[in-house]
Structure 1
Amino acid sequence: MSLVSHEVAINDAIARARLLSPFLSLILDREPVLAKSLATGRLDLSWSSVEPGMPVAKRLRIERRAMALNVAIGDLAGILDLTAVTGALTDFADYALDTAIRTAIEERTPGAEPIGFTAIALGKQGSGELNYSSDIDPILLFDPETLPRRPREEPEQAAVRIGKRVVELLQARDGDGYVLRVDLRLRPSPEITPIALPVDAAIGYYEAQALPWERAAFIRARAAAGDIALGQRFLEAIRPFVWRRALDFGAIGEIRGISARIRDHHSQGQAFGPGYDLKRGRGGIREAEFFAQIHQLIHGGRDRSVRVPATRDALARLAEAGWIRSDESQALIAGYTLLRTIEHRVQMIDDRQTHALPTGDALDRVAKLHGLDDAGALLALLEPRVTATGRIYDALDDTVRPAFSRDVVTLEADLVEAGFDDPESARRRIEAWRGGAYPALRSPAAREALEAVLPTLVPAFAAAPVPQAALLRLDALLERLPSAINIFRLLEARPGLATLLAAILSHAPTLADDLGRRPDLLDGLIDATAFEPVGDVAALEVIMRAGETGGDYQSRLDHVRRVVGELRFALGAQIVAGASDPLDVAAGYARVAEAAIGVLASATIEEFAKVHGRVPDSELVVLALGRMGGAMLTHASDLDLIYLFTGDFAAESDGPKPLGATLYYNRLAQRLTGALSVATAAGPLYQIDTRLRPSGGQGPLVVTFDSFARYQREDAWTWEHMALTRARPVFGSVAARDAVALIVRDVLEGDRPARDVIADARTMRSDMAAHKPPKGALDAKLLPGGLVDLEFATHVVQLVNRTGFDPNLGGAIDALIREGLVPPTLRPAHDVLTRLLVTLRLVAPDAAPPGHATEDLIARAIGVTDWAAVVATLESTRQEVRQFWAKVTGEQDG
């Protein structure tokens, strides 16, 4: 907009302001220099008529007056959009609050640094969305150690006196008006606490006693004035209180309850028309805010991208992340923008803290101030936006739910109708829960949550393949839980999860056991991303490191365990739900494990170095073998690892307690093995197997690169070279990984002792068959013609021909097929056996034939039509592998 255009628009705005807004008209008269400047088309938000030496209170009032006029005229002229308007109002509020704090401290303790006292902005000030007549809602905090105070004055007394003076400077009125209204009632327990609180006491409150609505309030919290560093320390300390990975649907219900109470309390402003409450009415500003905050509370603990304070930003981010529909986001943003704009028109008429449309001629005045003809045009503009917002918000509030009868006959009839084939047994189980059979079900809140979820839970479990079995596993889960409230509320809020839970409990005892130890694992399945492939190793490392900056070593280990548990559970659930190919899940398991090794190794090295320093020009390298080396794990796979170190074995570390390099790395590796394997409160991680290291269990845990290379070239046995075909470095610098990969390649390609690989392989396979027989009729690994035979045969071909080396077994088979060394049918055989192994580790860990209900799941997982096809495919695949094994080794296929 050109300066001429500005001038026309501003003069039109000034004319409307003089005619329709007594408040703005008064300021135009009291600020003639500013009014004249505006009339020339110049808009300067920093302008004021403050004179040097003016008392602070008077200066702030005059600055506020000029700011209000500038912003209002810029708004009415269409030069400042809603973001610019609310941003300018918020910036002034921050400035005024900070000035008041500095002044109060300076008046009491001249020359003292303004530290130890901070204001946390909540509400619209916190989110940068203040309106013309908003209160500000700060929480005033102080640090008793650094707060300036007078001699013999207690910090608490000083802080309260500073706080009172701040409020007085901002809120007191005189002929120049006032600066800001201040509402301190959002502080913890305002009825009994002083107006300024010690920061540590406030942290303790939010960690242990805060109410659910306070979580929503702190979505928009910001350190706004005073000692900003102190405020930021407070907000960082309570961040886990606001953004919880384990969802609390009770908090969501509380926010909905607030909305219902607002509608009830302000019933006269609910109906759209003259007198409609723009803020609290149905479809109003508050409902757009609550809609955003509810979804932020649900998803923000896991998705940092939605942790933004401003309502419109939050709605946009939620849509970008896929948590809400794009059309919902756009409708709510448009409605919020219009209602906030009209709210400003209402407030700028008389500078009153009001949110309701007036009635009669006064409504015409608001319409004309906005540039419309009359009240009818204004209502026509507002109505579709209000209706859309109300409809979208109402869809969240499904509080009217059916209930299951307590009458025996009626309940059984309901269970029959739902689909239970044994309604009497199901009824007795439900009655036991209602009677508080387990500690998790004995509180009134737990029983209330149970009743709320039964209408969701019963149909989902009735539709399970074996309803009674699923119900009994749920019963076993409830027996182990310390509290059932949150899982019930989660299932109530996300009915689709009840169906998935029934499937998990019906089919996957492995996942059911995991859920019994950590019921919060179910939380992770509400994310759309839970049924997508996990990210690459680098992305997973970011997740595993997130939120642990500055935490102690144990908390970092626990964080990794929690994340790994959630990811492994979600990957298993993908197979149960039929959402992913088991081959992709196996690769995902391996990426999760590699990321965990990387993050825990880095953390362990850092912790170890605090005491023992580091060995100069040296580093730890982790080499993976077996299924981990091949990057295809099952849910229950061990990790086969070899620890190596670079540099001079005779070197010494440089820490307070130095160690020789060999002892240093052996102790470090023991610590890392513990970090990867020792169970904590956050659960177990992995079983670690280091027996493939040089000299096996008799050798040192860690050796140098040179020792490793010499052993492989001179002393290693055939079985060790077969294991080496699947070696892959998973931790260490790029240069170190390349160096160990070169050693492995040289050995495999021929720099090794001449041995009768075929005879050794036959002997090893025979010994394994004698000492480790198949677990059951479906043991895709150990049955003749299973994965072990396929692995052995493939490794023999690789070692004899010195080619086709790829740590991934499928990739190795592909390479050998290209060279004409193995038949093309071996790749489908590998895929069938691997899919079967990965699936059975979840649904039939004993490798015994599953129940009929699970047969279809297994058939789907390996890509055939039914159980008969599973049996036939397994048999034909094993026959193919046995024939290949016989051809490679010269054994008869018996």
Structure 2
Amino acid sequence: MTSQRQSALDRLTANAPFLARLAELNPGDVTRFLADGTDAALAQIDSPAVDDNIMAALRHWRGQVALLLALGDLSGEHDVAATTRHLSDFADAACDAALAAAFAERVPDEEPRGLSVIALGKLGSHELNYSSDIDPILIFDPETLPRRARDDPDEAAVRIARRMVEILSARTAEGHVLRVDLRLRPHPEVTPIVLPVNAAISYYESQALAWEQAAFIRSRASAGDRALGQHFLGAIQPFIWRRSLDFRQLKEIGAMSDRIRDHFSQGQALGPGYDLKRGRGGIREIEFFAQVHQLIYGGREPALRAPATVDALAALASAGRIDSDVAARLADHYALLRRIEHRLQMVEDQQTHSLPVQTAALDGVARLDGLADGAALLALLEPVVADVGSCYDRLVAERAAPSGALPRDEDELAPQLAAAGFDPPAAALRTIAEWRGGKLRALRSSAAVEALETVLPELVRALGAAPDPDAALTRFDKLVAGLPSAVNFFHLLAANPALARIATRILSLAPTLADALAVRVDLIEGLIDAHAFDAPATRDALFVEWAPGLAGLDYEQLLDRVRDRVGERRFAYGVQLIAGSTDPLDVARGYADLAEAALQLLADATVAEFRAAHGVVPDSELVILALGRLGGCALTHASDLDLIYLFTGDHLADSDGARPLGASTYYNRLAQRVTAALSVPTAAGKLYDVDTRLRPQGAQGPLVVTLDSFERYQREEAWTWEHMALLRARPVYGSDEARTEVERIIGEVLARPRDPNSVGRDAAEMRAKMAAHKPPKGPLDVKGGPGGLVDLEFAMQFVQLTRGQGHDPHLGTALTVLVEAGLAPRTIPQAHDLLTRMLVMLRLTAPDGEPATAAARRLVAEACGQSDWTQLLAAHDAARQEVGNWWASIRPDDMEKEREK
């Protein structure tokens, strides 16, 4: 290690005049470095006192730090990440010292507060260069900033900020500390150098530009009043990380790189004079590569919001947003490019990024890095620059709009439309002419028309490939007609051509999803996320995913946010079905987990709100029991939620809040609010319909009863059909202890001996009433028709109650138990799976029982494992025959005939 340190010192002395001068001025630091290493030497440096000598002291300190960090870098004791972290920490401390000195000069008896340094760029991400500017935004709080008695707060803040900048930037005989560039603040040509915090928040919430959004990816409160800075950054998080993407902004951000390439054209090609920062394949392109992906996905995935470039690449790879090999290569390339950039800046403390043009100077930089000459340095950089440039070019190509605009002349356009699938093309010609003419409100601006022309070629191809192109075009036209502006929607489709094809498939095959998209067109943005086609998430996974975005919201905001999240996920699950990427049985389970997650979150929030007003009932809690398809963990896209509300403890107790209530009143009102939280439409739309008619005594009984009352009712008063419903009951809300108690009650009620004849007669009577009240909608009513899912469940429930086996709310699990016990035909599980898959698919493709289109029939058949619609109908008939036979075998009249034999 000693030889490496000496080699670093020798190379520094021979090739970096600025650092060589610092070595002469600080021999003690050099001696400690050679003997003990970089970190030990750094530990011996004292930060300067805030006094009248602050300017000279800071400059001397900076010289010591620059020397030792250069030696640590050249010797290999620090890698690039450690070096830039140390430089950033020094800059933070220097800003704090300069700000403290500025306050001390103006208000000597006050502690520095009320003014914050918001670091952007490389300082914001702890990646500062040796000779980089720092690019802060300065904000102040007029209410807390110390000032002289007659000072205007704005004027006092400007004076303190100006003095801080002078202490850091003024060049004296000892040099400077940091160059401070304040031009990243809003409208720098007219605004003061330090901004009131509320005015800054207002600007970024309403007026900020695309490049400013990208700049704040790498931002932090780095010095001064950090609490103030963190408050400011917290307030503008929705501006930085937008869930609703603006692809015009992404285009602008990408165009920044193109402008840089054009403006610095002399430094684009690798060779002497190459610009390591702005050249093709340089540092900026790696940073933009990471930032564009962060802007696309970071609004929905907080884990991707890492400020540092290498950390961001790793996070993007971990989340599956970019290829892991690309991330690893770019991280290595970034470290090499930054290392050589540091070598350039070590030579004379210049803020340069370009390789020297002169051969001797280029050789000197190479030797400083330990290479033989400039040719070796260029050879080292050549594959790196080529790879970075290639990765960035692919990113630009992916984000670029399709080329090949459609002609405006109808004689030229008609054959193209016919070739795309609109044959005859008359209707499509008319609709496109209306779009171009601004007939629709969403297409009356020049920006909207420009966006339309950008996406139109891909849109025509996608719509023309639909099973019924004219019908798909009509639905798309209706969708656009409902938008206040189509600009961002068209830019979204242009930037992601696959979305145009998905949107067309939705419009052609799934009326339920098409209706949802017409209400919330931003739902389609969630499909950009590759994880939108992952297996449906579990309830616990949803909690983890949603938690960061729900923290700190008030009750009304939470209601809206949960509706947004559920709507997005439910839409994505529906698209998975339309895309044929996921088994309908898995999606049914996903729908149930989604509903349960929403119920848990909203019930928790409602309980907390209610307790704030009325306190708690001692030794008591709300318990929610799910029945029906939610109880069985198999919902469809539009299923309602069958719930029973219960509470533990003494019904005569009172709550202990400022406005106490008796327990029964307390829980009835609380349950009403939970139902409202789940079902009442808000600005974000509707969530779920809630059906509570399965509670004790049905709609005539109280909404909530105690566990004791529930147990007594189930033992003494409940009808057979209520116990049949109880076979799919599952507690979904409440403590573990309360859930266990509910499960005990249900288990004991279901396990009691029963007369098969009595149960059979009751079941048959109930089924007949259901058929009379709600007759089948048609031959494809797979739920209510003869041999459908209702008959299957009635047959199951008869066997479960009379034989005391298979008491599991999940139908598939219960059927397996019954088959293995010889209590159900071996063909019934397959029949159940087929009918359930059909139910899930038909709820999307033919939600009102209308005949499915030919294309939808193919889709449903494939989702059910059949080659075509004819095969599906044959399998469907066979399954219903099996179910019908099983149900018929246990009806009372058939059992009586069997006994007579």
Aligned partners of 1:561 and 1:684 also within 8 Å: yes
CA distance, structure 2, for counterparts of residue 592 and residue 520 of structure 1: 20
> Would the aligned equivalents of 1:46 and 1:67 in 2 still touch at CA under 8 Å?
no
Once the two structures are TM-superposed, the CA of residue 443 in structure 1 deviates from its matched residue by 1.4
Please say if 1:276 is aligned against 2:274: yes
TM-score, normalising length: structure 2 = 0.97
The TM-score, its normalising length taken from structure 1, stands at 0.97
Percent of paired sites with the same residue: 58
Aligned equivalent of 1:395: 394
Aligned to 2:167: 169
CA distance in 1, matches of 2:3, 2:474: 76
Single out whichever of 494-503 and 624-633 deviates more from structure 2. 494-503
CA contact (8 A) 2:761 2:892 kept: no
Q: Distance in 1 between matches of 2:198 and 2:84?
A: 32
More divergent stretch after superposition (475-484 vs 508-517)? 475-484
2:10 paired residue among 15, 18, 21: 15
User: Over residues 464-510 of structure 1, what are the superposed CA-to-partner deviations in whole Å (9 max), with x where a residue is unaligned?
Assistant: 22222111111111111122222212211221121111111100000
5 Å matches for 1:774-853? 774-853=776-855
Correspondence for 1:868 among 867, 870, 881: 870
Q: 1:504 to 1:51 in 2, by over 3 A?
A: closer
Look up the SS of the partner of 2:134 in the other structure: strand
Distance in 1 separating the partners of 2:746 and 2:891: 24
**1:681 and 2:683 aligned:** yes
Q: Which residue of 2 aligns with 1:45?
A: 42
Partner of 2:432: 430
Q: In the alignment, is the contact (CA less than 8 A) between 1:777 and 1:849 conserved in 2?
A: no
Instruction: Determine the structure 1 residue equivalent to 2:118.
Output: 120
Figure out how many residues of one structure are paired with residues of the other and give that number: 888
Cα distance between partner residues in 2 of 1:524 and 1:15: 56
1-structure distance, mates of 2:630, 2:105: 67
> Do 1:618 and 1:647's aligned partners in 2 also have CA atoms closer than 8 Å?
yes
Counterpart CA distance in 2 for 1:647 and 1:107 is: 66
Q: Which residue of 2 aligns with 1:369?
A: 368
After superposing the two structures, state which structure 1 stretch, 618-627 or 29-38, moved more.
29-38
Equivalent position SS for 1:756: helix
For 1:41 and 1:798, the matched residues in 2 are separated by 78
The residue type equivalent to 1:235 in the other structure is L
Deviation per residue, 1:309-330 (Å, 9 max, x gap)? 1111111211121111122212
Paired residue secondary structure (2:223): strand
Q: Which segment is superposed worse, 313-322 or 835-844?
A: 313-322
Aligned to 2:102, what secondary structure does the other structure show? helix
After superposing the two structures, state which structure 1 stretch, 131-140 or 15-24, moved more.
15-24
Q: Which moved more, 1:633-642 or 1:55-64?
A: 55-64
1:378 aligned residue: 377
Matches within 5 A, 1:486-885: 486-750=488-752, 756-885=758-887
Offset at residue 437 of structure 1 (A): 2.2
**Displacement of 1:863 after TM fit?**
0.7
Cα shift readout 1:261-294 (whole Å, capped 9, x = no counterpart): 1111111111211101110011110000000000
Moved more, 325-334 or 130-139: 325-334
Shift of residue 891 of structure 1?
Answer: 4.8
Find the aligned partners of 1:33 and 1:761 in 2 and give their Cα distance. Answer: 95
**Larger displacement relative to structure 2 (175-184 or 368-377):** 368-377
Range with greater deviation from structure 2 (373-382 or 533-542): 533-542
| Equivalent position amino acid for 1:246 in 2 | S
Give secondary structure in 1 for the equivalent of 2:60. Answer: helix
Who is 1:205 aligned against?
A: 203
Q: Say whether 1:105 aligns with 2:100.
A: no
Tell me how far apart the structure 2 counterparts of residues 847 and 276 of structure 1 sit (CA, whole Å): 67
Counterpart mapping for 1:177-326 below 5 A: 177-326=175-324
Kindly provide the CA deviation profile for residues 513-565 of structure 1, in whole angstroms up to 9, marking residues without a partner as x.
01111111111111121112222211212334332222110001111100000
Range with greater deviation from structure 2 (328-337 or 179-188): 328-337
One-letter amino acid matched to 1:131: N
Instruction: Give the match's secondary structure for 1:623.
Output: strand
The separation in 2 between residues aligned to 1:532 and 1:891, in whole angstroms, is: 49
Query: What is the CA–CA distance in structure 2 between the aligned matches of 1:34 and 1:654, rounded to whole Å?
Result: 68
Q: Is the 8 A contact 1:460 1:498 kept in 2?
A: yes
Deviates more, 1:227-236 or 1:105-114: 105-114
Whole-angstrom distance in 1 between the partners of 2:756 and 2:153? 81
Cα offset for 1:14? 1.6
- TM-align CA RMSD: 1.6
Q: How far apart, in 2, do the equivalents of 1:574 and 1:169 lie?
A: 60
1:32 offset after TM fit, Å?
A: 2.4
After superposition, what is the alpha-carbon deviation per residue over 1:759-814, rounded to whole angstroms, capped at 9, x for unaligned? Answer: 11111111111111122331111111111111111111111222221111222221
Contact 1:714 1:752 in 2 (8 A): no
Partner in structure 2 of residue 35 of structure 1? 30
**Distance change (3 Å), C-alpha of 1:709 and 1:115:** same
Q: Secondary structure at the match of 1:685?
A: coil
Preserved CA contact (<8 Å) 1:274 1:357: yes
Q: Does the CA contact (< 8 Å) of 2:48 and 2:58 recur in 1?
A: no
Given that 1:729 and 1:737 are in contact with CA atoms closer than 8 Å, whether structure 2 keeps it comes out as yes
Name 1:449's counterpart in structure 2: 451
User: Using the alignment, how far apart are the partners of 1:345 and 1:612 within structure 2?
Assistant: 67
1:318-348 CA-partner distances (Å, limit 9, x unpaired)? 1121111122212211221111111111111
Distance 1:755 1:239, change over 3 A: farther
Cα separation, partners in 2 of 1:842 and 1:891, compared to 1, 3 Å: farther
Any conservation in 1 of the 2:787–2:883 contact (CA below 8 Å)?
yes
Task: Say which is worse superposed, 788-797 or 586-595, in terms of deviation.
Answer: 788-797
In 1, the alpha carbon distance for the partners of 2:263 and 2:741 equals: 72
Q: In structure 2, do the counterparts of structure 1 residues 702 and 822 end up closer, same or farther at CA, with 3 Å as the change threshold?
A: same
Secondary structure of the corresponding residue to residue 547 of structure 1: helix
List gaps (5 residues or longer) in structure 1: none
Which position in structure 1 is the counterpart of 2:898? none
The 2-side partners of 1:636 and 1:36 are apart by 75
